[in-house]
Each structure stands twice: as C-alpha cells, then as structure tokens.
Structure 1
Amino acid sequence: MTLPLMPKATAVWLVDNTTLSFEQIADFCGLHPLEVKGIADGEVAQGIVGLDPVTRGQLTRGEIARCEKNPGAKLELALSASPAIKPRTKGPRYTPVSRRQEKPDAIAWLVRHHPELTDPQICALIGTTKPTIAAVRDRTHWNSANLKPNDPVALGLCTQIELDAAVEKASVRQRQMQAENPVEESDEAVPDWAR
C-alpha cells in the first residue's frame, strides 16, 4: 500500500482533527498503533506540525466520514489527477570514490563479452568517458596490467535490465546493418585468427 506524504505529520493532523481509531490512522500512515497513541498522548512527535491530507489531495472528507462511522473500515488514499512521479533513470549517476577504480574492469568486461555495444552505450551504462573506453580497448590505460574484467552488474555500476536493454538495442542495430550491407563469406574475408 502506498503511504501518504509525510506520514507522521499526517497522523498528527488525523489525531487532532478526526475521531478515527488509532488502528485506522496507524494503518493509513504506516505507523504502529502504539505510536499513534503516543502522538495522541503528546509523548511522540512533539513539535511536528500536522499536515492536512485533505488539502494535499491525499484524502477526501467523504473517506474520513465513512471511516469514522465504521471503525473496521480502512482509509484509502485518493487517486491523484496528476501523473505519478517517475524515478529519474537517465543521466549521470554518482559513483562513490571507492567504486570508481572498478569502472575500467567493467569496461574491459563489456568490451570482451559484448563487442556490439557502442562507446556511447558503454558511457551511459557505466558513467564513464570515451577516452577511458578507448584506453581500455587499446590497452593503453594506465592500469591495464592490473585490469580484471568484471561484470558491471555484479559491481553495482548498472542494473541487469539496463544492460539487457543496451545489448538488445545494439544487436538489433547490428542486424539491420548486416541486412543493408550483406558481406559475402570468402577465405579472404575471414581473419587469420578466426580460421
């Protein structure tokens, strides 16, 4: 169940301005009934100003009246007319200093296991720069002797869903390019190391 915005302040307002039971308020605000009783006694949430859920659009007067008449009823959050807030998924994300040295390992893993990924896709997944990717690919990175390819999902630099989406997008793009420019297979087209 979704909780109201600022649940303790909402509980303070509901205790002060309604005749709802402690269990109803606790269930709606995600608090323990004893905590709501403490709010009513003035022992808990001292100094917290009550937040009116009706003016904030989280409850309706009718919903409060319905639950005041029936102590067994549960308060339900009002549906908001505004769209739900989506979490931010794109853009740079903060990587702690202690985890930044793991980025080249993740780049090496991606270059080895998913060569179809482009540099901008790797930049978006891991939050790195193109020169760092080029240095890892060319083995000119300052720490290339100590690089150990490691899965970026295991390192916590991206999620498995993000990685799968990037790989799928890259493979679709690669199939489209192959369909547009078919290459005939011959002995000269296959490099020596692949024979």
Structure 2
Amino acid sequence: MAKIPLMPKATAVWLVDNTALTFEQIAAFCGLHVLEVKGIADGDVATGIKGMDPVSNGQLTREEIERAQKDPSYRLALAEPKIDMPEVQRRQGPRYTPVSRRQDRPDAIAWLLRYHPELTDAQIIKLVGTTKPTIQAIRDRTHWNSPNITPKDPVTLGLCSQGELDAAVQKAAEKVRREQEKARREAEKAGTLLPTEETQAGTPAPELDELTPPAEETPATAESLFPNAQPPAPADEEEEPAYDVESVFGNTPASEEESGEASGEDDEEKR
C-alpha cells in the first residue's frame, strides 16, 4: 500500500481549502515540506492545480479528518483500499537513451570494455541502452565509426548513474570470484596440481636440528671405500744386464787414418 496519496499536491490543495488541518498534518500526509504547504495556502505554490478530494476516491475518511482536526498532534493515515490493485511489473528491457545522447553511446561502450572487461554484454546493454551487435562491433573494432570512438565515462556522459555502475561492477566481480572458486574446487577434485603458494601454505617450519649443518666428514680413502679389496701382487724385478765397452762399441767405424789405410789396401788388391 502506498504511504502517500495519489497526486499529493492536488490533495494538499483540497485539504488546505476544505479542512482545518495544520500545515504539519497536511505535509506529513501528502509527503510535502511544511513551507511548501504554507506556499499552497498563500497561493505561491501549485497555482492552477485543481484540488482532488481524497474522501471521494477512498484514500481518506471523514472520521479520520475530524479526529485530526480535534488533535493537532494526530497524523492522518491512508484508508485501506477496497479493491486490490495488482502490482505493476516493470518491463525489463534496454534503457531508453535520449536522441541527443545516442551518439555518445559508442564512447561509453568503449570505456566499459576497456576499464571493466568483467561486465557482461547484458549488463552493458542495461547500463547504456545499446544492442549486442553494437558491443561486438566496438570490441572487434569493426564499427563504422571506430576511428572516431574515444572511451568516455558513461556517468560523465549522463547515460547512467554512479550507483548503477558500481552495482553492476560489484555484481560482475562477484560472479568472476564464484567462477574461479568453482574452477579451483573442480581442479582439486580432479587431482590437478595446485599452485606452490597453496601447497606450501600448511607445511610446518623445519626444526632447529634440521637447520644445523652436518659435521665435517673425514676424506674418503681407498681402504675405507673398498675394505675387502686385495692389494695388487708386486711385479718381479728383472736384473739389468751388464754392459762393457767392446759389446757396445764393437761395430763402430775406426778412425779416419785407419779407414784410409784400409781403403788403400783394397785399391792395391784390385789392381
């Protein structure tokens, strides 16, 4: 049920003209400021507005008005509707963009694609009131006006509010986080190796004994490495033969004189 009547200014005009209610009571019932109601009484506000009777349309009763006139601190309450009106469901669709701002939509789409790639096409369509083929054309740089597109903040262009943009970005980031968490659980279930940061997160720190360097070891020797090996047998020493001068130099040629004499004797024999 609505908390204020239909056409609150017209209702306030009627109450000012036809009842003895205070300005505070009329302002609280119609959802207006006290000075605005005073302006209506002075004729400075809502000039030309015809008053609407809340009693005839079933929003207020005579008994409620009389009770409020007797007690200035009493606040009027709307009467219960006799007919249940169905709730009007807003049709979900792309946002309407004025004609004067439609040429700014490609710039806003380019800004969203650059600085918030986590946003889905449906969210961009809801923010700036565009179509999916246009988003794809700007993403692929196949738009007919691609050379002239400059990324601009859609909030600055007046295509959406900062609250709507923040809500869409937060929702998209939450969706990405859920997808990453789901992929991690599936990877753990499939037995895929996890990153080093996650696997070593619960590893206890090494104790002091493990950090102490080992004592110096003695150098290894053949006896320590092969204790059962037998030493090689000593080789038999051969006696070196005795040499004399004649045996060594027995075949050396004689001196030049002796060789000359020998050659002369050979020549005489040949003659």
Q: Say whether 1:78 aligns with 2:78.
A: yes
Is the CA contact (8 Å cut-off) linking 1:64 and 1:75 kept in structure 2?
Answer: no
Equivalent residue of 2:59, what SS?
coil
TM-score by length of 1: 0.68
Equivalent residue of 1:121, what SS?
helix
Residues 101, 121 of structure 1: alpha-carbon distance in 2 compared, 3 angstrom cutoff = same
Deviations, residues 148-186 of structure 1 (Å, cap 9, x unaligned):
111112212122222222222222222232233358899
Equivalent residue of 2:6, what SS?
coil
Offset, 1:123: 1.2
Structure of higher RCO (CA pairs closer than 8 Å, 6+ residues apart): 1
Residue of 115, 129, 132 corresponding to 1:130: 132
TM-score by length of 2: 0.52
Q: Say whether 1:163 aligns with 2:168.
A: no
Offset, 1:58: 3.2
**% of aligned pairs identical?**
55
Q: Which amino acid aligns with 1:69?
A: K
Q: Which amino acid aligns with 1:140?
A: T
Equivalent residue of 2:166, what SS?
helix
Residues 63, 124 of structure 1: alpha-carbon distance in 2 compared, 3 angstrom cutoff = same
Question: Paired residue for 2:52?
Answer: 51
**Stretches of structure 1 lacking an aligned partner (at least 5 in a row):** 39-43, 187-195
Is the CA contact (8 Å cut-off) linking 1:63 and 1:75 kept in structure 2?
Answer: no
Residue of 16, 36, 60 corresponding to 2:41: 36
Offset, 1:87: 9.2
Matched ranges for 1:141-152 at <5 A: 141-152=143-154
Residues 36, 146 of structure 1: alpha-carbon distance in 2 compared, 3 angstrom cutoff = same
Q: Which amino acid aligns with 1:178?
A: Q
Cα distance in structure 2, aligned partners of 1:79 and 1:156: 40
Q: Which moved more, 1:87-96 or 1:162-171?
A: 87-96
| Higher Rg of the two aligned structures | 2
Is the CA contact (8 Å cut-off) linking 1:22 and 1:33 kept in structure 2?
Answer: no
Q: Which amino acid aligns with 1:78?
A: L
Question: Paired residue for 1:191?
Answer: none
Cα distance in structure 1, aligned partners of 2:115 and 2:141: 16
Cα distance in structure 2, aligned partners of 1:23 and 1:168: 44
Residues 92, 12 of structure 1: alpha-carbon distance in 2 compared, 3 angstrom cutoff = same
Q: Which amino acid aligns with 2:118?
A: E
Equivalent residue of 2:96, what SS?
coil
CA RMSD of aligned residues (A): 3.6
Cα distance in structure 1, aligned partners of 2:17 and 2:173: 60
Offset, 1:79: 6.6
Offset, 1:17: 4.9
Cα distance in structure 2, aligned partners of 1:126 and 1:34: 40
**Stretches of structure 2 lacking an aligned partner (at least 5 in a row):** 188-192, 196-271
Is the CA contact (8 Å cut-off) linking 2:107 and 2:152 kept in structure 1?
Answer: yes
Question: Paired residue for 1:99?
Answer: 101
Q: Which amino acid aligns with 1:122?
A: I
Q: Which moved more, 1:104-113 or 1:116-125?
A: 116-125
Residues 80, 117 of structure 1: alpha-carbon distance in 2 compared, 3 angstrom cutoff = farther
Residues 80, 155 of structure 1: alpha-carbon distance in 2 compared, 3 angstrom cutoff = farther
Residues 126, 61 of structure 1: alpha-carbon distance in 2 compared, 3 angstrom cutoff = same
